[in-house]
Structure 1
Amino acid sequence: MPKSLLGIRDLTTADIYQIYELADRFYEVLQQPTRKAPALAGKTVALLFFESSTRTKLSFELAAKRLGADVLHFSAAGSSLSKGETLLDTALNILAMGIDAIVVRHAGVGTAHFLAAHLPVPVINGGDGTNEHPTQALLDSYTLLKHFGRLEGLTLTIVGDLFHSRVALSHLHLAPKVGLHLRLCAPPTLVPPLWYELGIPIYHQVEKAVQGADALLVLRMQKERQYQPPLADWTEYARFYQVRPDHLSPGQVLLHPGPINWGVELHPDLMHSAASRILDQVTHGVAIRMAVLYALLRG
């Protein structure tokens, strides 16, 4: 394993399966009454989140606490950053308090890499701009592994805003390392032009993209983005790219990294679909993040 987890592109196949195997162990721990494995007792993990987060932040916090570590929260609002302190100075001051690892989410691409280059402790990328979100891809694929018993040879269709998605980019790096076959589906304006040169099938019709796939990963339409017409009209997007119950075939699995815009990228009738493994993703996310923290701090 590298010293830090900055992106899937830095991991080998062996690294990825080491994380899966550790996650299996910690998943079993989470089924026990105490739900704790104090392997990181005495360690402190700092969560530096400069963007809004529910699942990722709480999942990392719970993962650290389940391992017996202390957790330090940083909020940019009201911090010395508003007084002109640099990000690096902030991180160095937090480090001086006795921090053993940092999880960072930031809108700036490369922020986690920057901190890792200047800090002596492991840095975990909790999402950097439109670059990567490595633990999300790990927990998505782990959910498929738990369900199907394998990843090699499975076909995963990713539907939605590919242009702005750090989740999609992490999956692009992960798929060839674990033997997943990818398909992509999005409006033409939401496909990065260079992706057409990757040799991955790209569709502009959901019906064709999902046919024969083992699993669907539906991405959030990011309402904070300034989409250009006609995508500025959510009704128009939903008309052509919303995943509906009739798109799913028996045996297919439905994933979504959250948060979900019901009625936009997913039809509300899928909320309680037997195909959905969306809450399983959340559960597995704690085990995966326990595995990552353990691998970096004790592995």
Structure 2
Amino acid sequence: MIMTKEEFANHSDIQSPRHVFRAEDWEEKEIHALLDEAENIAQIPRQTPLFQRLYAVNLFYEPSTRTKLSFEAAERNLGLEILPFATDSSSVQKGESLYDTVKTLESIGADVVVIRHSQEKFFDDLRTGINIPIINGGDGCGNHPTQSLLDLMTIRQEFGSFQNINVVIAGDISHSRVARSNISLLRKLGANVTVSGPEKWIPDEYRKMYQPMDEAIPMADVMMMLRIQHERHHASNQNVYSFHSSYGLTTDRESRMKKSSIIMHPGPVNRGVEIADELVECKRSRIFKQMQNGVFARMSLLKHVLRQS
């Protein structure tokens, strides 16, 4: 059933806005409900649009391909209308605060706002005073809840559950919001998580989970590779060829993986650096499956925050 903005506003199930700031805020039951809905959507992703005259704004202060475009696809599939926004041609350039920008969007009729920002925990300034749902599309090195949702969907499709699945997350852990969100949710759901990569890029909180790549490879059910986030390093003299041989998923390392194990990567992929070029689209790779699942997972989440699940 298509719902107009007026019908939606009068719906009896309406509650205060449900923001999505951190993956760790989800309860296990809620995670599975979101994944179940995403799987249902995947069967018929372009069904009759659910919403009519509801407006979404994607407020991206950092470059993005997969997250931004998959949100746009998800919003359009649900029937949401997208109010275009470009930070380089907005009042952000005149010094407008993030709070005032979001409050302006709410005032002119936005019903949900997706935000990506370089500032970690940007959402702390938006916890009060905003009366529409806000979805975190990535905050600095902090959180990336929607990426975690699509990653969980991909893993569950492969293994059926998360209990005792061995997931190795390897690469630039200290600067990765994907790693932080995935570690939190995977452990909550019963998976065994190991981190790998240069030891200088392993935060103290994950030190006990660390294993060198060549020790981690044979036990992994999931190898989740991460790129070097050069834009978050104040200085980086890391030789990419040295990185690949020492810490990357080479063809030799891939040959020592379990037959049933899979390769994942949140993108963008730097071929020949964190992962060998020929492995990006190999039989065990689920990298492009993750991207496809991103649309379904974000459709599920948008329905959830708009109280239409």
Question: Common fold, TM-score beyond 0.5?
Answer: yes
- Of 288, 291, 302, the residue aligned with 1:279 is 288
**Deviations 1:41-87 (CA, angstroms, capped at 9, x unpaired):** 22111100000000000000100110111112321102111112222
TM-score (norm 2): 0.90
> Residue in 2 aligned with 1:54?
65
Corresponding residue of 1:253: 262
Equivalent AA in structure 2 for residue 222 of structure 1: Q
Q: Which residue of 1 aligns with 2:248?
A: 242
Match for residue 165 of structure 1? 176
2:244 matched to 1:233? no
* TM norm structure 1: 0.93
CA 1:214–1:227 in 2, change beyond 3 Å: closer, same or farther? Answer: farther
| 1:211 has 2:222 as partner | no
RMSD of the TM alignment (CA)? 1.6
Q: Which residue in 1 is equivalent to 2:119?
A: 108
Give the number of aligned pairs. Answer: 290
Question: How far does residue 174 in structure 1 lie from its aligned partner after superposition?
Answer: 0.2
Amino acid at match of 1:218: M
Helix, strand or coil at the partner of 1:5: coil
Q: 2:3: which partner in 1?
A: none
Q: Which of 23, 32, 36 in structure 2 is aligned with 1:8?
A: 23
Identity %: 33
SS at match of 1:63: helix
Matched, 1:222 2:237: no
Please tell me whether residue 269 in structure 1 is matched to residue 278 in structure 2: yes
- 1:180: Cα distance to partner? 1.1
Given that residues 47 and 102 in structure 1 are in contact (C-alpha distance below 8 angstroms), is that contact kept between their aligned partners in structure 2? yes
Partner-residue secondary structure (3-state), 1:158: strand
Aligned residues of 2:53 and 2:80 also touching (Cα < 8 A): yes
Structure 1 stretches of 5 or more lacking a match? none
Q: 2 CA distance for matches of 1:130 and 1:151?
A: 25
* 8 Å CA contact 2:60, 2:117 repeated in 1: yes
| Equivalent of 2:76 in 47, 65, 70 | 65
Which letter does structure 1 place at the counterpart of 2:238?
A
Partner of 1:21: 36
Whether the 8 Å CA contact 1:6–1:113 is kept in 2: the answer is no
Unmatched segments (≥5 aa) in structure 2: 1-14
- The one-character-per-residue Cα deviations of 1:134-189 (angstroms, maximum 9, x if unpaired) are 01111111101111222222110000000100000001210122111101002111
Q: Deviations over 1:13-37 (max 9, x none)?
A: 011001001101111112xxxx134
Measure how far apart 1:227 and its partner are: 6.2
